Amino acid sequence: MAYRLLNNRDDALEITQDAFLNAYQKLDSLHEPKRFGSWLLRIVSNLSLNRRRSRALRRGLSLDAWRVDDDAHTDVNAPPSREPGPAQQASAKDLQARIAAAVDELPDMQRQALILFSIEKMPQKEVAEILGCSVQAVKWHVFAARKKLKDALIDYL
Protein backbone atom coordinates (compact mmCIF):
# COMPACT_ATOMS: atom_id res chain seq x y z
CA MET A 1 0.00 0.00 0.00
CA ALA A 2 2.82 2.40 0.83
CA TYR A 3 4.40 1.82 -2.58
CA ARG A 4 1.12 2.44 -4.39
CA LEU A 5 0.59 5.68 -2.49
CA LEU A 6 4.16 6.94 -2.82
CA ASN A 7 5.27 5.38 -6.13
CA ASN A 8 8.78 5.16 -4.73
CA ARG A 9 10.30 1.90 -3.50
CA ASP A 10 12.74 3.39 -1.02
CA ASP A 11 10.16 5.69 0.58
CA ALA A 12 7.68 2.80 0.79
CA LEU A 13 10.21 0.58 2.57
CA GLU A 14 11.02 3.33 5.04
CA ILE A 15 7.32 4.06 5.68
CA THR A 16 6.63 0.35 6.21
CA GLN A 17 9.40 0.14 8.79
CA ASP A 18 8.17 3.28 10.53
CA ALA A 19 4.61 1.93 10.53
CA PHE A 20 5.63 -1.30 12.26
CA LEU A 21 7.65 0.65 14.80
CA ASN A 22 4.73 3.01 15.48
CA ALA A 23 2.32 0.09 15.75
CA TYR A 24 4.60 -1.69 18.22
CA GLN A 25 4.98 1.43 20.33
CA LYS A 26 1.22 2.10 20.37
CA LEU A 27 0.01 -1.49 20.56
CA ASP A 28 -1.63 -0.82 23.92
CA SER A 29 -3.95 1.72 22.23
CA LEU A 30 -5.44 -1.01 20.02
CA HIS A 31 -8.69 -1.93 21.72
CA GLU A 32 -9.85 -4.60 19.28
CA PRO A 33 -7.03 -7.00 18.33
CA LYS A 34 -9.09 -8.46 15.46
CA ARG A 35 -8.81 -5.05 13.74
CA PHE A 36 -5.02 -5.07 13.78
CA GLY A 37 -4.78 -5.29 9.98
CA SER A 38 -6.95 -2.28 9.26
CA TRP A 39 -5.34 -0.38 12.15
CA LEU A 40 -1.88 -1.03 10.71
CA LEU A 41 -3.00 -0.03 7.21
CA ARG A 42 -4.35 3.21 8.62
CA ILE A 43 -0.93 3.93 10.12
CA VAL A 44 0.75 3.13 6.78
CA SER A 45 -1.75 5.33 4.97
CA ASN A 46 -1.25 8.29 7.31
CA LEU A 47 2.54 8.03 7.20
CA SER A 48 2.48 7.73 3.40
CA LEU A 49 0.31 10.80 3.00
CA ASN A 50 2.54 12.76 5.36
CA ARG A 51 5.57 11.73 3.28
CA ARG A 52 3.82 12.77 0.05
CA ARG A 53 2.99 16.17 1.51
CA SER A 54 6.50 16.75 2.80
CA ARG A 55 7.96 15.68 -0.55
CA ALA A 56 5.65 18.09 -2.37
CA LEU A 57 6.65 20.94 -0.09
CA ARG A 58 10.36 20.17 -0.45
CA ARG A 59 10.67 19.95 -4.19
CA GLY A 60 7.42 20.63 -5.97
CA LEU A 61 6.82 18.65 -9.16
CA SER A 62 9.88 16.71 -10.28
CA LEU A 63 10.75 14.15 -12.88
CA ASP A 64 10.44 11.42 -10.22
CA ALA A 65 6.65 11.74 -10.48
CA TRP A 66 6.88 10.46 -14.04
CA ARG A 67 9.24 7.57 -13.26
CA VAL A 68 7.95 4.04 -13.72
CA ASP A 69 9.54 1.27 -11.68
CA ASP A 70 9.60 -1.78 -13.98
CA ASP A 71 10.58 -4.14 -11.14
CA ALA A 72 7.37 -3.41 -9.25
CA HIS A 73 5.28 -4.65 -12.17
CA THR A 74 7.11 -7.92 -12.75
CA ASP A 75 5.16 -11.11 -12.07
CA VAL A 76 7.53 -13.98 -11.32
CA ASN A 77 4.80 -16.56 -11.91
CA ALA A 78 3.70 -15.15 -15.25
CA PRO A 79 4.10 -17.48 -18.22
CA PRO A 80 6.85 -16.53 -20.65
CA SER A 81 5.57 -14.40 -23.49
CA ARG A 82 6.86 -12.92 -26.68
CA GLU A 83 8.90 -9.78 -26.07
CA PRO A 84 7.22 -6.62 -27.36
CA GLY A 85 9.06 -4.49 -29.85
CA PRO A 86 10.66 -1.14 -28.99
CA ALA A 87 7.61 0.83 -30.18
CA GLN A 88 5.29 -1.27 -28.01
CA GLN A 89 7.60 -0.94 -25.03
CA ALA A 90 7.78 2.84 -25.43
CA SER A 91 4.01 3.05 -25.74
CA ALA A 92 3.46 0.87 -22.66
CA LYS A 93 5.93 2.92 -20.60
CA ASP A 94 4.24 6.12 -21.72
CA LEU A 95 0.85 4.75 -20.68
CA GLN A 96 2.23 3.58 -17.31
CA ALA A 97 3.72 7.00 -16.71
CA ARG A 98 0.46 8.74 -17.61
CA ILE A 99 -1.55 6.44 -15.33
CA ALA A 100 0.88 6.97 -12.43
CA ALA A 101 0.76 10.73 -12.96
CA ALA A 102 -3.04 10.73 -13.15
CA VAL A 103 -3.31 8.69 -9.94
CA ASP A 104 -0.83 11.02 -8.23
CA GLU A 105 -3.02 14.01 -9.15
CA LEU A 106 -6.10 12.55 -7.43
CA PRO A 107 -7.11 14.02 -4.06
CA ASP A 108 -5.78 11.96 -1.14
CA MET A 109 -9.06 10.32 -0.12
CA GLN A 110 -9.94 9.39 -3.69
CA ARG A 111 -6.48 7.96 -4.34
CA GLN A 112 -6.52 5.93 -1.13
CA ALA A 113 -10.04 4.61 -1.69
CA LEU A 114 -9.23 3.66 -5.27
CA ILE A 115 -5.98 1.91 -4.34
CA LEU A 116 -7.42 0.01 -1.40
CA PHE A 117 -10.68 -1.04 -3.09
CA SER A 118 -9.80 -1.43 -6.77
CA ILE A 119 -6.14 -2.42 -6.65
CA GLU A 120 -5.70 -4.07 -3.25
CA LYS A 121 -9.18 -5.67 -3.56
CA MET A 122 -10.20 -4.84 0.00
CA PRO A 123 -13.90 -4.87 0.95
CA GLN A 124 -15.56 -1.44 1.08
CA LYS A 125 -16.31 -1.84 4.77
CA GLU A 126 -12.65 -2.39 5.58
CA VAL A 127 -11.62 0.53 3.36
CA ALA A 128 -14.12 2.70 5.24
CA GLU A 129 -12.58 1.67 8.57
CA ILE A 130 -9.07 2.43 7.34
CA LEU A 131 -10.04 5.81 5.91
CA GLY A 132 -12.29 6.69 8.83
CA CYS A 133 -15.39 7.34 6.73
CA SER A 134 -18.65 5.65 5.76
CA VAL A 135 -19.05 2.91 3.15
CA GLN A 136 -21.09 5.38 1.06
CA ALA A 137 -18.19 7.82 1.15
CA VAL A 138 -15.82 5.06 -0.03
CA LYS A 139 -18.17 4.31 -2.94
CA TRP A 140 -18.28 7.98 -3.86
CA HIS A 141 -14.50 8.42 -3.62
CA VAL A 142 -13.89 5.38 -5.84
CA PHE A 143 -16.49 6.58 -8.35
CA ALA A 144 -15.04 10.10 -8.43
CA ALA A 145 -11.48 8.78 -8.77
CA ARG A 146 -12.42 6.51 -11.68
CA LYS A 147 -14.20 9.39 -13.42
CA LYS A 148 -11.19 11.68 -13.01
CA LEU A 149 -8.85 8.96 -14.30
CA LYS A 150 -11.11 8.36 -17.28
CA ASP A 151 -11.10 12.08 -18.06
CA ALA A 152 -7.32 12.34 -17.62
CA LEU A 153 -6.65 9.28 -19.80
CA ILE A 154 -9.27 9.91 -22.49
CA ASP A 155 -6.57 10.03 -25.19
CA TYR A 156 -5.57 6.46 -24.34
CA LEU A 157 -9.07 4.94 -24.29
Which letter, b or e, does each residue of 25-61 get, where b requires 16 or more Cβ atoms within 10 Å of its Cβ?
eeeeeeeeeeeeebbbbbbbbebbbebbeebeeeeee
Q: What is the pTM of this model?
A: 0.57
User: Does the residue 58 lie in any domain?
Assistant: yes
Contact status, residue 12 vs residue 115, Cβ threshold 8 Å:
no
Contact residues for 59 (Cβ-Cβ < 8 A; gap 6+) = none
Query: What is the pLDDT, as a whole number, of residue 99?
Result: 86
Q: What is the CA radius of gyration of the chain?
A: 17
Q: Give 53 or 70, the one with higher predicted confidence.
A: 53
C-alpha angle with apex 38: 50 to 143, nearest 5 degrees?
A: 75
DSSP SS3 for 74: coil
CA–CA separation, 135 vs 113, rounded Å?
A: 10
Contact status, residue 122 vs residue 116, Cβ threshold 8 Å:
yes
Going by C-alpha positions, the residue among 11, 116, 117 that lies closest to residue 72 is 11
Query: What is the pLDDT, as a whole number, of residue 150?
Result: 92
Please state the length of the chain: 157
Query: What is the pLDDT, as a whole number, of residue 76?
Result: 47
pLDDT bucket at 54, cuts 50 / 70 / 90: confident
How many domains does the chain fold into? Answer: 1
pLDDT in tens, 104-146: 899 999 999 999 998 888 899 999 998 999 999 999 999 999 9
User: Does the residue 85 lie in any domain?
Assistant: no
User: Does the residue 60 lie in any domain?
Assistant: yes
Containing domain of residue 58, as a range? 2-68+91-156
Query: What is the pLDDT, as a whole number, of residue 59?
Result: 54
User: Does the residue 83 lie in any domain?
Assistant: no
Residue 36: which CATH number? 1.10.10.10
Pinpoint the alpha helices (H) of 26-80. Answer: 36-59
pLDDT in tens, 67-101: 444 444 444 444 455 556 666 666 677 878 888 88
CA–CA separation, 81 vs 112, rounded Å?
A: 33
Mean pLDDT, the chain, integer: 81
CA–CA separation, 97 vs 69, rounded Å?
A: 10
Q: Give 57 or 157, the one with higher predicted confidence.
A: 157
User: Does the residue 75 lie in any domain?
Assistant: no
